[in-house]
Amino acid sequence: IELDFPVRLQVQNVEKPLYRGTFHCFQSIIKQESAFGLYKGIGSPMMGLTFINALVFGVQGNTLRALGKDTPLNQFLAGSAAGAIQCIICCPMELAKTRMQLQGTGEYKLKTKNYKNSLDCLIKIYRKEGLRGINRGMVSTFIRETPSFGFYFLTYDCMTRYLGCEAEDSYVIPKLLFSGGMSGIVSWLSTYPVDVIKSRLQADGVGGVTQYNGILDCVRKSYHEEGWRVFTRGLTSTLLRAFPVNAATFATVTVFLMYMRSEDNLRECEPGPVIQQPSSL
């Protein structure tokens, strides 16, 4: 679930800010747009997240096997490869999410509705701007996702090894949840300033006004107008969301793989542990 506040905090006008922080943003959306305002743009993540997760874990696992040895460096490289490839789906998905979330800001009932849903949003952007339009922010997404997913899988591998996540451990589920949550936090912290720039580039042009000529121009203007704090806009709400989401994701995938491997072992009648280290995802 992609709650609305990070994007709104990241792209709001510094001269006329609508929100003073995460909690004020939450209150304002509820008051002005009802609880449904928190879930604007949810259609896009729901359409894409299944494919993204399947792609990410599949590419990471196959890349790690291709690299041969399960080392911290190979964990990082395999994660980075997965992050780079999933940008193909992630970038258009986040563009639609951003445009949908900014539509009708502060309105209880939308007076002007440019997009009916996320798919309609992408179709209209494509008709107006072509492939370049629906891939707006692709370079910044690539810069964010590649190292971010490297740290994501590296942190999870280190945490599960340190905590000793073994199948016979009665606390394995809490350990997996904690490891996954911390992986999400480290992942976001590693490249969060790039996410701010990505959001601003994807929101640029909403309302017919274009401010930025590219990534460097966006960085320069944002820093000049708002200082270094601009690169941490929305960080609190992002981290609050990151822990439970990634805890659930990693724990679910790992437990599923535990089950599948135990089934394979039973069918083949081979002795051995039920689960390998989660690093072999």
219-247 residue pLDDT tens: 999 999 989 989 998 898 899 889 999 99
Over residues 72-95, the pLDDT tens digits come to 999 999 999 999 999 999 999 999
- 271 CB neighbour count, 10 Å cutoff: 6
Average pLDDT, the chain: 83
Reference 184, options 246, 229, 261; nearest CA is 246
- Specify the pLDDT at position 111: 58
With a CB cutoff of 8 Å and minimum separation 6, the contacts of 248 are 177, 180
Count CA atoms closer than 13 A to 217's CA, side-chain side: 7
Residue 20 has pLDDT above 80, yes or no: no
- Specify the pLDDT at position 8: 72
- What is the rounded average pLDDT of the residues 16-24? 71
Distance of CA 178 to the CA centre of its chain: 18
Confidence of residue 161 (pLDDT cuts 50, 70, 90): very high
CA distance 103 to 203: 10
